[in-house]
Amino acid sequence: MNNKGHFKKTDWIEIQTRISPIVKQTPVISNENINDLYGLEVFFKCENLQNTGAFKIRGAANVVLKAQREQKLKNGIIGSSSGNHGIALATLGKALDIPCVVVVPPICPKMKVKKIKDLGAEIIFTPGMNYADRERIVNEIASVRGLMIVSNGNSLDCIQGHGTMALELSSQVVGDPLDAILVPASTGGMLAGCALATKDVNPTCKIIAVEPKGKCLADSLRAKTMLWPGPRKYLETRAEGLKTQAVFPIPFDICCDHVEPEVLTVSDEEMIRGIQLAAAELKLVLEMPAGAALAAAFQVKKRFPNVKRLGIILCGGNIDMEVLMDSLVAFDPNP
Q: Among all residues, which ones are annotated catalytic? A: 56, 82
CB neighbourhood size of 223 (10 A): 11
Lay out the sheet containing 100-104: strands in order across. Answer: 122-125, 100-104, 77-80, 148-149
Cα 99 to Cα 84, 126, 154, 200: the distances in Å are 18, 20, 22, 36
Q: What is the DSSP string of 308-322?
A: -EEEEEE-B----HH
CB 301 within 8 A of CB 39: yes
CB 180 within 8 A of CB 311: yes
Question: What's the rounded Cα separation, in Å, for the pair 16 and 3?
Answer: 26
Q: Is 185 helix (H, G, I), strand (E, B) or coil?
A: coil
Question: What's the rounded Cα separation, in Å, for the pair 234 and 116?
Answer: 23
Question: What's the rounded Cα separation, in Å, for the pair 301 and 106?
Answer: 39
